[in-house]
Each structure stands twice: as C-alpha cells, then as structure tokens.
C-alpha cells in the first residue's frame, strides 16, 4: 500500500528535510517512526527539500507500507512515535504510480516578516524581524518583476553540481500586511535552491530603497551578477505541494 503523508514541522531544531548522516533531518525522524511500527524497513520519499531552519505546514512524502493497518491507524501510530515538533497532519492511500516528487505540479511557499520595532518572543525563529520601515508599494512592484517565466540563475545557489534547467514559472506572488505582519506568498511550478529566500531578500531591499528596480530586472534578464542576499531561513514556510 502506498501512502501519501502531509507533514508539518518546526524546522528550527532540524537539518532540513532530507536525510543526513547525523540523522538529524526531518526525513530521518519520520523513517525512524516507521521503523518502530513496521515489520520491515520503510523508505520515505519527499516532494522536495527544505533547508535547515525552514518550516513546513504541508510537506508531502510517500511511503510503501505493508497491509494490515488503515491510513488512520498509520497516522496515529506515526504521531505517537514522532517528536512533538513533527506531525503527520494528513495521510491517505494513493495509487502505486504516484510519486511525491515527480507527480507534483507546483509548490506554495510563504515568507513572514514582522515589521515592528519589537519582535514578540514567541515569533523568534519563525519570522524575519525588520524594524525598519518598508515601502509596501515598492515591495509589490518588485514582486511583479519576478512573476512569470524567467531564468532564475542569478537568484539561486549552486549546490555543487550544475542544474540543467534554471528556468522556472512563478505563477503568483501575493502580499498582505496586517498589524505589522507582512506575508509574501509564492506559487510556482518549482523553486531552485534558496530561490524563495533570495527573491524575498531582493524585494525587501527594494522596499527599503537599497536596490533599484531596473537593476533588479537587468540582473534577472542577464543571469548575472549573482545575487548574494538571502533572507533568514526561519521566516520561510512550505505551505502546500500541488498535485
């Protein structure tokens, strides 16, 4: 039986999603929970990576499990064996041909910015605290620069091997602000390594009048020079994987 898991986690204590040699990634803990329940080893295949410190509301993964338990039973058993900062919030059976990564049609990320002089203590590690004034109109103009189909070479980090195709379609970048909490929501067919955090940092620099829109547009079109500002990991959330 193939199961699709929807997983939420506070990424602060973990080395991202993907399994690490030290066993301190979210995937490691999910596979360890399966090890405690299942009679054989169960591999968990994620929809994609999240970096160290990045959170998830709707990370997705699939796993092939032996019969004998219902999806609801698996969900309860997994949550009983996971640390409290990782939870399986949804679980259902899917066809054998389904793949958490290769069946995905897109992803939704959200970046949170607390734009107030004082950061509420419970938001530490969960938002980017920017006490300086932000021009939200300029932030929206910068978002329009990045919306659409572009080669995002200048706004990604090479993991150590060349990415064959750095073109992506950002379908929308939506902004909202209430009581000093700015939410920037990205939806696209896929995102490169650190791309969302780099786009957010670029938009913020425009909103703080430290970057020119035309220079940003030129950098995007030419693929150079490489952007070297990255928003903190703690403000980023993987909201949903689209299938």
3-state secondary structure of 220: helix
Q: How far apart (Å, rounded) are the C-alpha atoms in residues 98 and 33?
A: 22
- Clarify whether 135 is annotated catalytic: no
Yes or no: say if 239 and 89 are a contact pair by the CB < 8 Å rule: no
Q: Which two tokens stand for residue 89?
A: 């919030």
Which one of the listed residues 10, 28, 51, 64 is annotated catalytic? 51
Q: What is the DSSP string of 135-187?
A: -HHHHHHHHHHHSEEEE-GGGS---SS--S--EEEEEEEEEEEETTEEEEEEE
Yes or no: say if 203 and 185 are a contact pair by the CB < 8 Å rule: no
Beta strand 86-94 with 148-151 is unpaired
Q: Which two tokens stand for residue 223?
A: 């693929």
Place of tokens 């000093």: 180
Long-range contacts of 218-223 (CB under 8 A, 24+ apart): 219/154, 220/145, 220/146, 220/150, 220/151, 220/152, 220/154, 220/155, 221/150, 222/154, 223/151, 223/153, 223/154, 223/166
Catalytically annotated residues = 51
């Amino acid at each position: 039986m193939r199961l699709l898991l929807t997983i939420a986690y506070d990424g602060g204590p973990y080395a991202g999603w993907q399994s690490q040699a030290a066993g301190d990634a979210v995937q490691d803990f999910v596979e360890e929970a399966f090890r405690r329940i299942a009679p054989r080893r169960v591999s968990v295949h994620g929809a994609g990576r999240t970096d160290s410190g990045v959170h998830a509301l709707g990370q997705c993964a699939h796993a092939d499990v032996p019969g004998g338990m219902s999806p609801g039973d698996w969900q309860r058993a997994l949550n009983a064996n996971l640390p409290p900062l990782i939870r399986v919030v949804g679980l259902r059976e899917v066809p054998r041909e389904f793949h958490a990564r290769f069946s995905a049609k897109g992803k939704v990320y959200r970046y949170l910015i607390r734009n107030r002089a004082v950061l509420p203590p419970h938001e530490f590690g969960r938002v980017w605290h920017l006490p300086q004034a932000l021009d939200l109109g300029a932030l929206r103009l910068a978002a329009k620069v990045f919306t659409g189909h572009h080669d995002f070479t200048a706004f990604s980090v090479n993991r150590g091997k060349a990415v064959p195709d750095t073109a992506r379609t950002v379908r929308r970048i939506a902004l909202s602000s209430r009581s000093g909490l700015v939410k920037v929501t990205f939806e696209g067919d896929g995102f490169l390594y650190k791309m969302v955090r780099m786009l957010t940092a670029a938009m913020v620099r425009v909103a703080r009048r430290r970057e020119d829109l035309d220079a940003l547009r030129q950098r995007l079109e030419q693929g150079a020079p490489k952007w070297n500002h990255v928003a903190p990991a703690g403000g980023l959330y993987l909201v949903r994987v689209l299938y």
